[in-house]
A and B are shown apart, each in its own frame.
Chain A
Amino acid sequence: MISFSGVAKRYPGGQQALQDISFVIKAGELAFISGHSGAGKSTLLKLIAAIERPTAGAVLVNGQNVGALQRAALPYLRRNLGLVFQDQKLLHDRSVYDNVMLPLSFGDLAPKEAARRARAALDKVGLLGRDRANPIQLSGGEQQRLAIARAVVNRPAIVIADEPTANLDADSAARILDIFVAFNQVGVTVLVATHDEALIGRYARRVLRLAQGRLQAMEATA
């Protein structure tokens, strides 16, 4: 479960990114955050992963106030979150397989089990046959699917994605969102930030609409 209660975020330069944001995403829910560029979508997701800290209010993730977490506790929070970024943040000097193995290398999994999970994650996103390739050899859609495989390889309870379909063609974007829906169907909480209203319209899910750092509406799409 993700809960925002009266959350505000002001950056050191004085820019007010979020103001008085309150909402709850239930466990097992798939929801969208929409809004124009600069509306505060990325900041909101960064607060969930404790990449940024709120200047007011409380952000709870599975009951933990992430804004109050000590620095040493952050890695353990992030291991339980699947993060997908618009720019994928892949390591281009490593193979597809090594990129997926990266989050597993931090933990205590035995190498065989880690390898099995990495292959399973690649299989889920349709990249198992390309595990030896370099990310640079993949298409934009494939790179985004690789980022998703890396995000879910630790079997997180929550996946958050920031503009995962940006710069993708309609088919690739739909395929990416279908992957998120498939994870959600097995109980994973998914929160996707996107400005693509047409894509959101294809799914009957709750949408949190942000404008100028404020939550304008929470509505379900038809």
Chain B
Amino acid sequence: MRAWLRHHRRALGGALAKLAAQKPAAILNALVIGIALALPAGGYALLGSVQGLAQHASLEGQLSVFLRPEAARPEAEALGGRLKRDARVREARFVPREQALRELQATEGLAEVVAALNRNPLPDAFVVRLRSADPAVLEALAQELRAEQAVAHVQADSAWLRRLRALADTARLAIALLATLLAFGMVAVTFNTIRLQILTQRDEIEIAKLLGATDGFIRRPFYYLGGLQGVAGGIVGLGILWGSLVLLNTGVAPLADSYGSSFRLPFLSAGDAFAVLLFSALLGWFGAYMSVSRYLLEIEPK
């Protein structure tokens, strides 16, 4: 076990020394890998922000039920009672027309418009949250409510959120495709770097084989080199992403502030950032594995 650890420590040390000895090439490789990683990671971070907004607005089934302007308050109370008794309904919040007007007045830019009105044009309404997000349940209840005498209009508020979710799913698929393509690119970069390293060390490898080095002993430093290159690329990629988000947030901040929101594009969570590093290390290792498998067998002592 000690010898095994010693071999791994030596291989890791050797790989680090090689990276240090070839700084310009190592930095360029890390940059290429970093850019390749930053693109899907950035897409993932932005998608996370959009999904965060959508989740904040809730994707659960929700209906806005607007009553007829002539509907009397007792009719509204009767409808409220019917909604509360319905097993499909989690919550039915009554929004009186006066409160709706106050909320409209509080909306930035609309205060003057509302003040210019000589009467309250808004109806009484119910905001109905359902226990299920199932569109069929939502539509069934909406149909029933439309048939009510006091109801003027029923709006399924979560429809746009479902569209947003569908868009987010499409974006997630696009990011996955992009990540897959760029992963191939990363593997190709590492493959080529390790290939050049193997060719540079051809004599050393041949001598080591002559003197009794196992394939594992010879392969190990290259695996570490590939993995370290992946990690370096991952760190650069996260750095690029962080810098880009900081820049983007300088534009997002005033826009969000104008809506009274403190929304900012967030950086990846610690777990996601670690996953990016792990993923890049694995891709680096895999590129090295492919290269070593392809070229090391060709080097045999003569």
Contacts and interface: CB of A to CB of B under 8 A. Distances in A.
Q: Do A and B come from one complex?
A: yes
Interface of A: 49, 51, 71-72, 75-79, 83, 89, 91, 102-103, 105-111, 150, 154
B88 interface: no
Contacts of B46: none
A75 B207 contact: no
Interface in B7-30: 10
A134 to B, nearest CB: 15
Contact of A106 (B2, B206, B211, B300): B211
Contacts, number: 51
Contacts of B209: 75, 78
B207 A89 contact: yes
B215 A103 contact: no
A12 to B, nearest CB: 12
B80 to A, nearest CB: 80
23 contacts: A49-B210, A72-B214, A72-B215, A75-B209, A75-B213, A75-B214, A75-B217, A77-B212, A78-B209, A78-B210, A83-B210, A83-B211, A89-B206, A91-B203, A105-B10, A105-B217, A106-B208, A106-B211, A108-B3, A109-B3, A110-B2, A111-B6, A150-B211
Interface string B206-243: 11111111110100000000000000000000000000
A14 to B, nearest CB: 17
A109 B217 CA distance: 15
Contacts of B208: 102, 106
Interface of B: 2-3, 6, 10, 203-204, 206-215, 217, 300-302
Nearest to B300: A51
B207 A154 contact: no
Nearest 7 interchain pairs by C-beta: A79-B212, A108-B3, A78-B212, A103-B211, A75-B214, A75-B212, A106-B213
Nearest to A77: B212
A89 B211 CA distance: 10
A51 B212 contact: no
A127 B100 CA distance: 96
Contacts of B210: 49, 51, 78, 83, 89
B67 to A, nearest CB: 83
B165 to A, nearest CB: 54
A51 B204 contact: no
Nearest to A79: B212
B10 A154 contact: no
Nearest to A105: B10
B288 to A, nearest CB: 20
Contacts of A49: 210
A107 to B, nearest CB: 8
B251 to A, nearest CB: 52
A77 B213 CA distance: 11
B197 to A, nearest CB: 14
A96 to B, nearest CB: 15
A27 B302 CA distance: 26
A186 B210 CA distance: 24
Contacts of A106: 208, 211-214, 217
A102, A150, A154: residue with the most chain B Cβ atoms closer than 10 Å: A102
B7 to A, nearest CB: 8
A92 to B, nearest CB: 9
Contact of B207 (A79, A91, A108): A91
A78 B211 CA distance: 6
Contacts of B207: 89, 91, 102
A113 to B, nearest CB: 11
B2 to A, nearest CB: 8
Contacts of A91: 203-204, 207
Contacts of A154: 212
A108 B4 CA distance: 8
Nearest to A99: B207
Contacts of A107: 3
A109 B3 CA distance: 7
A110 B217 CA distance: 16
A83 B10 CA distance: 25
